[in-house]
Homo-oligomer: A and B are copies of this chain.
Amino acid sequence: MLQVGVLGATGYAGYELVKIIQRHPQAELAFVSSQSYAGQRYSAIYPCPYEMTLVAPDEAPLDKADVVFLCTPHAASAPYAKQAVDAGAKCVDLSADFRLHDADIYAQWYVEHPLPEMLDQAVYGLTEIYRDQIAETDLVANPGCYPTGPLLALYPLLQKGLVSDSRIIVDAKSGVSGAGAKASPTTHYVNVNENLSAYKVGHSHRHAPEMEQELTLFADKPMRVTFVPHLLPVTRGILSTIYANFGKATTVSDVIALWQETYAGEPFVLVCQEGKLATVAHAAHTNRCAISIASAGAPGEFVIVTAIDNLLKGASGQAVQNMNVMFGLDETAGLLA
């Protein structure tokens, strides 16, 4: 059995990881760690039957783990990643610390990077696109929740040069678990329920440069996004409605055919048939990414709709998928397709 350690195990991504590993046929928990709840049993934090005791991060037995998942905050994660790798473990970092290849851009959107020299070591963990490099690396930078859906949908279109415009609009709606487990006015039930609100609109959310980095790599030319996230009154799920302009001869069928070809055999990519659009329900409580497309009403103008579960394909599910790839396991082990 693969020995798994989780640092930051009491946030939502941590809880989701704990649940997946508890049910994974080839992995088990070596330790779960939490700064705030060290010494408590896991069942005291979440409504579940897991009775293991949380350890402080500094007392986590990194050497006992084959793989360490980091659900720790950005800037705090990188040093843990170094410790884990130095201790001989593989590491999947769910924070933003290794997602951006450029330390300057990281500094612009987060803080000064704590370990810029490690950036080259990390592979961006969008499994379907970077599977080969993930299989070889010790350090995976698990993607942000918002980028995953748009990137999977746009990858083959940009690669084939179908997208005619350098600007793409992503209007995204995320469930509240994406805002984290910390209680705040933003996540108060009364403020979220029967409401919908946009936040960090335009080009101010940290997932914007992450999307732009990857879209630019896919297209091999500079791409920019207008990104408007919304806080949706559901617990989990992200629906992204994407406005993109293609060459005028491109049809909806062309795009679907390209997706089907690109993602043939992928257990977690669900290409919706023509006339059907992805909904949150296609993806919630699974590791799926559903992708779909329709005409925007004029030649060359399209609406792409993607859906994931932000805690699974958007975080812990994809993290385990990456673990499965890193250790040569069945990629779907522990995950719901």
The A255-308 residues at the B interface (CB cut-off 8 A) are 270, 277, 279-282, 284-285, 288, 290, 294-298, 301, 303, 305
Residue numbers in B under 8 Å from A164 (CB-CB) = none
A232, B173: Cα distance in complex, Å: 10
A196, B235: Cα distance in complex, Å: 12
Task: Tell me which of B171, B199, B235, B298 contacts A224 (CB under 8 A).
Answer: B298
How many copies altogether?
A: 4
Interface residue total, chain A, C-beta cutoff 8 A: 67
Name the residue of chain B whose CB is nearest to the CB of A270: B49
A303, B171: Cα distance in complex, Å: 11
Chain B nearest CB, measured from A190 CB (Å): 5
- Are A198 and B241 within 8 A (Cβ)? yes
- Are A297 and B203 within 8 A (Cβ)? yes
Residue numbers in B under 8 Å from A167 (CB-CB) = 298
- Return 23 A-B CB contacts under 8 Å, by A number: A47-B279, A183-B184, A183-B188, A189-B189, A190-B235, A191-B281, A193-B193, A194-B236, A195-B284, A196-B232, A196-B237, A196-B279, A197-B277, A198-B279, A198-B305, A201-B294, A202-B296, A202-B301, A203-B295, A203-B298, A228-B241, A232-B233, A233-B234
